[in-house]
Chain A
Amino acid sequence: MSTVLFDEPGPKARRRIRAATALGTLAAVALVALAVRQFAANGQLDAARWQPYATWPMWRYLLDGLWSTFLAAVVSAALSMAFGLALALGRVSPRAWVRGPAAAYVEVVRTIPALLLVYVVLFALPRYGLDLPLFWKLVVPLTVSNAAAYAEIFRAGINSIERGQTEAGLAVGLTRLQTMRLIVLPQAARRVLPSLVSQSVGLLKDTSLGFIVSYGELLYSGKVLAAYNGLLIQTYLVVALIYLVVNASLSKLARTLEARQPTSSVTLRRRIARA
Chain B
Amino acid sequence: MGVLLEHLPELWQGLIVTFQLTAASFAGAAVLGVLVCALRVSPVGVLRALGTAYVETLQNLPLLVLLVLAFFGLPEIGIKAEPLVTAIVVIAVYEAAYIGEALRSGVNSVSKGQGEAARAIGLTFGQSLRHVVLPQALRTVVQPIGNIFIATTMNTALAGAISVVDLTASAQRVNLVEAQPIPIFVGAGVAYGLIAAAAGFVTGRLERRLVILR
Residue pair A114, B154 in contact (C-beta under 8 Å): yes
Pick the residue among B60, B119, B160 that contacts A248 (CB under 8 A): B60
Tell whether A205 pairs with B63 under 8 Å between CB atoms, given A111-B197, A114-B154: yes
Residue pair B73, A232 in contact (C-beta under 8 Å): yes
Chain B residues numbered 32-66 whose CB sits less than 8 Å from any CB in chain A: 41-47, 50, 56-57, 59-66
Residue pair B193, A108 in contact (C-beta under 8 Å): yes
B89 contacts partner chain A, Cβ-Cβ < 8 Å: no
A270 contacts partner chain B, Cβ-Cβ < 8 Å: yes
A46 CB, min distance to chain B CBs, angstroms: 12
Q: Could you mark each residue 56-89 of chain B with 1 if its beta carbon is under 8 Å from any beta carbon of chain A, else 0?
A: 1101111111101100111011110000000000
Total residues of chain A contacting the partner, CB 8 A = 59
Residue pair A44, B77 in contact (C-beta under 8 Å): yes
Tell whether A239 pairs with B72 under 8 Å between CB atoms, given A116-B192, A119-B171: no
Pick the residue among B65, B74, B156, B185 that contacts A124 (CB under 8 A): B185
B114 contacts partner chain A, Cβ-Cβ < 8 Å: yes
A110 contacts partner chain B, Cβ-Cβ < 8 Å: yes
Hey, which chain A residues are within 8 Å of B116, CB to CB? 7
Residue pair A274, B143 in contact (C-beta under 8 Å): yes
Tell whether A236 pairs with B65 under 8 Å between CB atoms, given A110-B196, A273-B102: yes
Hey, which chain A residues are within 8 Å of B8, CB to CB? none
A28 contacts partner chain B, Cβ-Cβ < 8 Å: yes
B115 contacts partner chain A, Cβ-Cβ < 8 Å: yes
Q: Which of B112, B128, B144, B157 is the most central at the interface, judged by chain A CB atoms within 10 Å of its CB?
A: B157
The CA-CA distance from A248 to B52 in the complex, in Å, is 12
Q: Could you mark each residue 197-219 of chain A with 1 if its beta carbon is under 8 Å from any beta carbon of chain B, else 0?
A: 00001000111110110000001
Closest to B44 in A: A20
Residue pair A119, B114 in contact (C-beta under 8 Å): no
B175 contacts partner chain A, Cβ-Cβ < 8 Å: yes
Q: Could you mark each residue 176-193 of chain B with 1 if its beta carbon is under 8 Å from any beta carbon of chain A, else 0?
A: 000101100100110011
Pick the residue among A119, A232, A243, A274 that contacts B62 (CB under 8 A): A243
Residue pair B158, A240 in contact (C-beta under 8 Å): no
Show the binding face of B for A, using Cβ within 8 Å: 41-47, 50, 56-57, 59-66, 68-69, 72-74, 76-79, 102, 105, 107-112, 114-116, 119, 125, 128-129, 133, 143-144, 147, 150, 153-158, 160-161, 168, 171-172, 175, 179, 181-182, 185, 188-189, 192-193, 195-197
Q: A4-B115, A25-B46, A219-B65 are in contact. List 9 more A-B contacts (CB 8 A).
A: A17-B44, A21-B45, A41-B78, A42-B77, A112-B154, A127-B179, A211-B64, A270-B105, A273-B144
Q: Identify the 4 closest CB pairs spanning chains A and B, nearest first.
A: A124-B181, A111-B196, A247-B60, A113-B157
Show the binding face of A for B, using Cβ within 8 Å: 1-7, 9, 13, 17, 20-21, 24-25, 28, 38-39, 41-42, 44, 108, 110-116, 119-120, 123-124, 127, 201, 205-209, 211-212, 219, 222-223, 226, 232-233, 236-237, 239-240, 243-244, 247-248, 251, 270, 273-274
A-B contact pairs, 26 of them (CB 8 A): A2-B112, A3-B41, A4-B108, A4-B112, A4-B114, A20-B47, A24-B46, A111-B193, A113-B156, A113-B157, A119-B168, A119-B175, A120-B181, A124-B181, A206-B62, A208-B64, A212-B161, A232-B72, A233-B72, A233-B77, A236-B68, A236-B73, A244-B57, A251-B60, A273-B144, A273-B147
